[in-house]
Every structure is written in C-alpha cells, then in structure tokens.
Chain A
Amino acid sequence: MIWNEEFETLPREALEALQLKRLKSLVERVYTAVPYYRKKMEAAGVTPSDIRELGDLRRLPFTTKEDLRLNYPFGLFAVPFEQVVRIHASSGTTGKPTVVGYTKKDIESWAELMARTLSCGGAHRGDVVHNAYGYGLFTGGLGAHYGAERLGAAVIPISGGNSKRQIMIMQDFGSTVLMCTPSYALNLADVMKDMNVDPKTLKLRVGLFGAEPWSEKIREEIEKRLNINAIDIFGLSEVMGPGVASECIEEKHGLHVFEDFFIPEIINPETGEPLPPGERGELVFTTLTKEAFPVIRYRTKDLSRLISEPCRCGRTFCRMERITGRTDDMLIIRGVNVFPSQIEHVLMSIEGVEPHYQIIVNREGALDIMEVQVEVSEEIFSDEVKVLERLGRRIEREIKDLLGISCKIKLVEPKTIQRSEGKAKRVIDNRKL
C-alpha cells in the first residue's frame, strides 16, 4: 500500500517543480540563519538568487562530517533554540558525536516518512511492530517508533539486546513486523534455533532492516531463517534518521528515495564531480523541508547508484541501489581497495558458510596481511582434514580472483565471532598507519 498516494506518485514534472520551490526556500533560510553556511556560500561565489533551476544545486558547496564537527554541538541549527524539541546524536567512534536537532514539524515529517517506509514494506494498521532498533541518542529506535504509531500499528518499544526475552515477546505478543539491524536479525535467528523456536510458529511476516550495509545473500539468509520478507531501508541521522529511502515489497530492488523531502545526487568521491545518471559513486543528500537541522549536499560516504526507471509499485520516486560499501570502510591492502561487502559476497556464495565473519588486518614488516575468520558450521564441517583445508583454499582462491590479493582464511569455532546487538563490527585493522 502507498501511504501518501498524492506525493509518492507525483508525476516527475510536478515533483521537480515542488523540489525547486523547496530548494529555493531552503537555501534562502540557511543563508540567512546559519553564518557558517553563508560564509561557505560566499566563498563559493553563490547567493540564494543564483538558484533558478534544480541543476543549480551543484553550484552549492558540499557539507561534510568535518563541517558538523567544527560546529559541534549546535552551530548548524537553523532555528532559534526554543523551537528545537528533540536532539539526537550519532555514536561517533572517533571524537565527538554528530549532533542533530528537530523542530515539532521535523518530528511530524519524520513520522510521515517512517509511516511511508513501513507501508513500503507492506505494514499496516493492526500490525504489531517489534521495534528492536536501539532507543536513545541513536535515531533508529524513536524514528521507527513514531512512524509505526503514525501508521496506526501497535509498537513494542523493545529496543536492542536480551534476545531470549525478545523471542518470548514475539511469541506472546504476536509480533508481525520486525525492525532492527540485519546483523541483529541473524542473531535473533541463531537464538531462536538455540531455543528450539520454529520461526514458522511465529506471526512475523516482514522485517525492515537498515543502519548498516548488507548484501542480497544476507537477505536470502534472513528470509529463509526467519521465514519473512526482508526489506532494506535507509537513512542517516545527519539527513533525518531512518526514513530517507525504502525498498518496496513489490520489487525489493532499489530503495525509493522520498524525493519530496530529499534530493539525492551521486558524485565521484575523489573529485566531487556529479556522475552521469546510473553510475556508481558517493551518495549526497540535500534536505528540502527540515527546519532545525537542514543540510545542503551532505556527503554520506555511502556508495550507491540511482535507478530512474519507473517501478511497478507505482511510486514515481527514483530508487537508490542498496549500499554496497562506504568510502571510509574501504580498506587499502597492499594498495588494493577492499570493501568488506566484497568478502561477504564471496563467503555467502559458498554453500553452508555462515554469515558471521571478521576481517583482521595486520602489518608484518612492510606487508599487509589480511585474515578472514569464518565460523565452521555443521554444514561445512567434515571429519577429514583435507576437506576443511580444501574449503579454506577455495575461499582464498575466490577472494584472490575477485580482489587480486591473497588472504588467509582461518576457520574458527561457531559463535566465537562476536554477535552484534546493533551494528556488526566486520573489520579489525591492527595496522598502525
């Protein structure tokens, strides 16, 4: 079902006219209210009156995480502080977190966007939404929560952790829609297996998973193991939180960007030049309606491409392909660019290999050594040493074929790789660069 038929199926021409109107007003607002943005625009030689058509967007300077850091905590807020009703922050693995604010209207828009997202995944009034995204400073929990309420579903605000209790509640409360990170969904599947709970006996029908990159193979794994439809959703706190884009259940191919609220662009991450339609590069977003914390051309560091072909679900919004990696989780090993998603792709193409893996990078002398730890499941285990050694060599060879560099596969006992209750940690880089 389409939550907001009027906007989500706008003819492209009308949509672009709406985007232009909103873009002009955004640039005007930001220029007046945020000195930092005004200075950046002046340095780039642009003023709000230069924005006459959508193509003029590219004349505006980019906003980066560094800009956010320099203005910590509230320097980029574009409304008087009394109008801010909510503050969220990203975890910030290095240094200070990234802080974002919302006005009452922003919270309303966000709820609308998450209601659309849930509808995209086939959720509706009467559903029981099991929201295992973390509640707190992280935008996932509350973002999904407000959307589910707006939709008219019953929300279980269970947050992350304590998987056994989560499963008991799924059984007892009849959860129909699961929301969490894909790695936590796999964790729940593992715990169900340990508890001898057959997912077929649950009412779960669909899961909306986001907040970390995942692959098509992981989707198959989750769908098979939890007996549900798995939908990829996308968002980031700097732009809104979850609710920026979502797959539709009809196609499950590419995530519809809610273009009446956000303008997506794809750029070459090295030169910053916009790329021709359909090419893969770094995703950049401009928020069209946000009041408290608008961003102009925010560089997400996520890699994707845009699909402009119409979708059979009826939404006219373009789609972004599922995120295949990040410009900053890219490892450079012996001069070769390596994305964890590429390693995952190789592992998941081998029958019986579990979706739990970890990449460990060390430097021995002047040489980078990449080790991939893979858990030995019952399917791939053998009583013969040569069979296991052959498997290890096969994975090494396939990774070498794909990436052109050699690595070492280490087979480890099940459950020795730490399970995530939020975002999975796939890479341990011990190099002191």
Chain B
Amino acid sequence: MKVEQISIFLENKSGRLADVAEVLAKAGINIRALSLADTTDFGILRLIVNDTEKAKQVLKDNGFTVGKTEVIAVEVPDRPGGLGHILTVMKEQGINVEYMYAFVQRSGGNAVIIFRFDEIEKAIAALQKSGVVILKGEEVYAL
C-alpha cells in the first residue's frame, strides 16, 4: 500500500536541480512525479521514480545526500470535491498532512496524489474504510 519516495538535499545554488536530472537521465531512470520544497538556503527535492534503489545509489555515488520515505499514492476522482473528501476523512481522524503533490499521469480516469501523513498506517486504514483507492507501489512506478 505504500510507495517509496526518494528525497534529495539541495543547496540553493544554480544548476543543482539540473545536476540531479542529468545523473538520473544517464542512469536511464524515469521520474514519475516530483515536488520541490524550498527555503531561503536549501531545498528538498522529492521524487517518485521507476527504480528507487538504483536512483538512490547513483545519486549517492554522485555525492548527494539522499533519503527514502514511505508515502501513499491515492486515486482522486477528477471532479469537484474529489480531494475535499479525502482531506475530510483525515481531518476527522486527526491525521496531519505533512506535504502532498500531484502526479502527472492519470490512473484510469482519476488523478493521482502523493501524500505524506504523520501517521501513515492510521491513514491507510481510514482511507480504505471510506472507499478511497490507494495504489500499490508497483502500480505507481509503472504508471
């Protein structure tokens, strides 16, 4: 039910994002989804890729600090209120969203959103109970 995400520490220096993209391209790794959180001094790049282990290794080999986190990929019906429903479920359960970002690809007719919750197991249970579709890792990497 969980999806592996890699995160990379980036100093706010020009060209660092390009360096990451180049390392991944050379290793033949495909980026599925990404988000960049930035502060005045540094940024954290979060990626879902088709081969997490390989991506992590090549980035480490190139001197980047890389972390791995478990996140959830949720199918969100592409209509008004689709996202609202999911967030209401979390609110009722007292689960916090640490961050979220959308997938470029669709799954069937639905949008896919990546969530990082503070209580991941509780979030999975609550979402499943309320009928929300959670994608498996393999499904996400292959989208």
Our pick among A378, A384, A385, A389 for the contact of B65 (Cβ within 8 Å) is A378
Kindly state the separation between the CA atoms of A415 and B61 in the bound complex, as whole angstroms: 12
Kindly state the separation between the CA atoms of A411 and B65 in the bound complex, as whole angstroms: 12
Mask of B5-16 contacts with A, CB within 8 angstroms, 1/0: 101011100001
Do the beta carbons of B10 and A413 come within 8 Å of each other? Answer: yes
Minimum CB distance partner of B99 in chain A: A384
- Let me know if A330 is at the binding interface, CB within 8 A: no
The minimal Cβ–Cβ distance linking A190 to chain B, given in whole angstroms, is 11
- Let me know if B39 is at the binding interface, CB within 8 A: yes
Residues in B neighbouring A377, C-beta threshold 8 A: 65
Kindly state the separation between the CA atoms of A413 and B69 in the bound complex, as whole angstroms: 19
Do the beta carbons of B64 and A413 come within 8 Å of each other? Answer: yes
- Let me know if B66 is at the binding interface, CB within 8 A: yes
Do the beta carbons of A413 and B46 come within 8 Å of each other? Answer: no
- Let me know if B92 is at the binding interface, CB within 8 A: no
Do the beta carbons of B39 and A389 come within 8 Å of each other? Answer: yes
Residues in A neighbouring B99, C-beta threshold 8 A: 384
Query: For chain B residues 30-71, which have a beta carbon within 8 Å of chain A?
Result: 37, 39, 41-42, 44, 46, 63-67, 69
Mask of A378-394 contacts with B, CB within 8 angstroms, 1/0: 10011111001100000
Kindly state the separation between the CA atoms of A300 and B7 in the bound complex, as whole angstroms: 48
Do the beta carbons of A383 and B116 come within 8 Å of each other? Answer: yes
Do the beta carbons of A414 and B44 come within 8 Å of each other? Answer: no
Mask of A402-424 contacts with B, CB within 8 angstroms, 1/0: 00000000111111100000000
Our pick among A381, A385, A389, A411 for the contact of B67 (Cβ within 8 Å) is A381
Residues in B neighbouring A410, C-beta threshold 8 A: 41
Minimum CB distance partner of B42 in chain A: A411
Kindly state the separation between the CA atoms of A415 and B66 in the bound complex, as whole angstroms: 14
The minimal Cβ–Cβ distance linking B105 to chain A, given in whole angstroms, is 21
Minimum CB distance partner of B39 in chain A: A385
Residues in A neighbouring B39, C-beta threshold 8 A: 385, 389
Where chain B touches its partner, the secondary structure class is strand
Considering residues A377, A383, A388, A416, which has the most beta carbons from chain B within 10 angstroms of its beta carbon? Answer: A383
Q: How large is the interface on A (under 10, 10 to 19, 20 to 34, 35 or more residues)?
A: 10 to 19
Mask of B113-141 contacts with A, CB within 8 angstroms, 1/0: 00010000000000000000000000000
Minimum CB distance partner of B98 in chain A: A384
The minimal Cβ–Cβ distance linking B37 to chain A, given in whole angstroms, is 5
Do the beta carbons of B37 and A381 come within 8 Å of each other? Answer: no
Our pick among B46, B65, B116 for the contact of A376 (Cβ within 8 Å) is B65
Do the beta carbons of A383 and B67 come within 8 Å of each other? Answer: yes
Apart from A381-B9, A413-B10, A413-B64: 17 A-B pairs, beta carbons within 8 A: A378-B67, A381-B65, A381-B66, A382-B44, A382-B67, A383-B5, A383-B7, A383-B46, A384-B44, A384-B99, A388-B42, A389-B39, A411-B9, A411-B41, A413-B11, A413-B63, A414-B64
Residue pairs across A and B with Cβ atoms less than 8 A apart, 12 shown, are: A376-B65, A378-B67, A382-B44, A382-B67, A383-B44, A384-B116, A385-B44, A412-B11, A413-B11, A413-B16, A413-B64, A414-B63
